[in-house]
């Protein structure tokens, strides 16, 4: 018996968000710096990103964690005048301009997917929360200073 194994690998992430009216729209996003340069986990980048996310109201950032070379966040629709991909490109561009550091760059694409259940959301949130611990940056997740929630999401499901 021959077992076929699908080994197709994407060269870039898929784009767009598929709507499903039966569950809330919650997106899990990972964005990396170019060449995984370690420059995000600091007070300047943290405050700058928070201020941009507050004003870029197309999508609302819920819980997030800034790691030295990448960001994990959850987002849900806000005023939605831009698609999710355009919103990510917008705030990445704004951050780069406002940071005013000619050496800073983002990776071209971001990776995201829609969370389809409460259980999946909780698992992803715990993964994100524990990221600084797994990386050896702190002993307890609560001690990591570069995390938060811009728009509180008490109830998604």
**What residue ranges do the domains of the chain occupy?**
26-149
What is the band of 17 on the pLDDT scale with cuts at 50, 70, 90?
low
The answer to whether the CB of 54 falls within 8 A of the CB of 25 is: no
The pLDDT tens digits of the residues spanning 54-103 come to 998 889 999 999 999 999 999 988 887 888 999 999 999 999 999 999 88
Which CATH number describes the domain made up of 26-149? 3.30.70.1290
pLDDT at position 19? 54
pLDDT at position 123? 87
What is the band of 13 on the pLDDT scale with cuts at 50, 70, 90?
very low
pLDDT at 118 over 70: no
């Amino acid at each position: 018996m021959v077992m076929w194994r699908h080994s197709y690998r994407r060269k870039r992430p898929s784009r767009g968000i598929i709507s499903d009216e039966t569950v809330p729209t919650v997106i899990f996003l990972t964005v990396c710096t170019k060449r995984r340069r370690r420059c995000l986990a600091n007070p300047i980048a943290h405050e700058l990103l928070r201020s941009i996310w507050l004003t870029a109201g197309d999508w609302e950032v819920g819980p997030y964690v800034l790691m030295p070379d990448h960001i994990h966040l959850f987002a849900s629709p806000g005023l939605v005048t831009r698609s999710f991909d355009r919103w990510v490109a917008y705030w990445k561009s704004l951050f780069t301009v406002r940071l005013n550091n000619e050496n800073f760059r983002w990776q071209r694409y971001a990776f995201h997917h829609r969370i389809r259940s409460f259980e999946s959301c909780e698992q992803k949130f715990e993964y994100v929360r524990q990221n600084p611990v797994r990386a050896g940056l702190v002993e307890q997740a609560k001690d990591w200073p570069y995390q938060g929630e811009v728009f509180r999401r008490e109830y998604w499901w």
